[in-house]
Structure 1
Amino acid sequence: MKKIAIGLAACCLLLRAGAAEVEWMTDVAKAQAKAKEDKKLVMLDFTGSDWCGWCIKLNKDVFSQPEFIEYAKKNLVAVEVDFPRHKEQPEDVKKANAALGKKYGVDGYPTIVLLNADGKQVGDAIVGYVRGGPKAFIAKLEELKQKS
C-alpha cells in the first residue's frame, strides 16, 4: 500500500512538473496559426540562452515562475528566437532567427516583441531585463496588449 501511495505521489509530481512550464515554440508561422486559433498574442523572446546573463536571469526570475506560466498559458504563444554561442542550431533555424532579428530591429538581448496573430507588432519591444519579477513583466505585457 505504501509503494502505491509513493508511486501515485511521484506520478502527480511528474505530471504537475510537466504542466508547470511555458510551451516554447521556435516556428513563428506555426505560433501565429496557434495564436489565431486560440485568440492569443505571440511573444517573441530574442535571447542568447547559453551566454547572455540577463536572458538567463529573465528565464529564471520570470519565465519559470508560476505566476508568469499561468499568465502565458492564458494569453500568449511563446516563441524562443535563440542566438546561442555554445550549442549547435540547424542552419535553417539560424537563418530564420537572424531574419527575425533584422525584421524587428533587435540589437541587444533579451528583447521581447509582442505580435498579434497576423504578425503585426504590438507596441514597442521590451529591451533588456525588466526588474520586479513576473508581476512587473506581466504589467509591461499588459501595457503592450492595450495597444493591440
Structure 2
Amino acid sequence: MYSLLLILLFTGLVNAQESFEENVQDVESIVEVEINWFTDFKTAKAAAKKQKKPMLVYFTGSDWCKPCVKLKKDFFNTPPQFAEASEDYIVVMLDIPYRDDIISLEQKKINKEMQKKLRVSKFPTLLALDHNGRERNRMERYSFPDPQYYWEFMNNNERLFGL
C-alpha cells in the first residue's frame, strides 16, 4: 500500500511539472513583442530615406488615451504579426503624454510640432509615409473590438508601396 501511494505521488509530481512548463510557455508567448520604434521623427525620416523604406508613424497619448493603449495591446503587440509586418517599414512612435515625466519636454514639443505639421487631431493616428515623408495613407482612432481595420490598413500599404 505504501509503495502504491509513493508511485501515485511521484506520478502526480511529474504531471504537475509538465503542466507548469506548458503554462510558462503559454505566458511567454503573451509577452509584449519587441519593436524597434524610432521616437524622433527627424532621425526616422533620415533612416527611411537612406534605406528607401516607407514609414509608419504612430501618434499616441500613452498616459491618457485609452484607445491608444488598447490599440497597442490588440495590434502592435500581436506576436509575431506586427513585428514581421513592421520589418518593411521604419516605425515611429510619437508620444504626446499629459505627464511631463514620460518623455523630455523638448521631445514633447517636437512631437507636438510634428502633430501640427502632419495634421493629426485624433488619437490614435497611424500614418503611412513614403521614404521622402509624403503621406500616402492614414488610419485614425480605434474603437473596434478587434484590429481588423488596422490589418486592412497594413494590406493597403503593402499595395501602395509594393511590399
- Give TM class, smaller chain: 0.7 to 0.9
Structure 1 position 54, deviation (Å): 0.3
Q: One-letter code of the match for 1:42? A: M
Contact 1:122 1:145 in 2 (8 A): no
Contact 2:62 2:96 in 1 (8 A): yes
Contact 1:25 1:79 in 2 (8 A): yes
1:98 to 112, 133, 143: 112
Paired position in structure 2 for 1:119: 133
Task: Return the TM-score normalized by structure 2.
Answer: 0.69
Following superposition of structure 1 onto structure 2, how do residues 68-83 of structure 1 map, counting pairs within 5 Å? 68-72=82-86, 74-83=87-96
Matched, 1:22 2:32: no
For 2:99 and 2:45, the matched residues in 1 are separated by 29
Task: Return the TM-score normalized by structure 1.
Answer: 0.75
Q: CA RMSD in A?
A: 2.3
For 1:90 and 1:64, the matched residues in 2 are separated by 25
Higher Rg of the two aligned structures: 2
Q: One-letter code of the match for 1:83? A: I
Q: One-letter code of the match for 1:64? A: N
Deviations 1:103-133 (A, max 9, x none): 111112101111111111113x211117433
Q: Secondary structure at the match of 1:85?
A: coil
Structure 1 position 87, deviation (Å): 4.6
Which consecutive aligned stretches of 4+ in structure 1 deviate over 4 angstroms post-superposition?
none
Matched, 1:37 2:34: no
Structure 1 position 139, deviation (Å): 2.1
Structure 1 position 35, deviation (Å): 2.1
Provide the aligned length of Structure 1 versus Structure 2: 129
2:124 to 110, 115, 128: 110
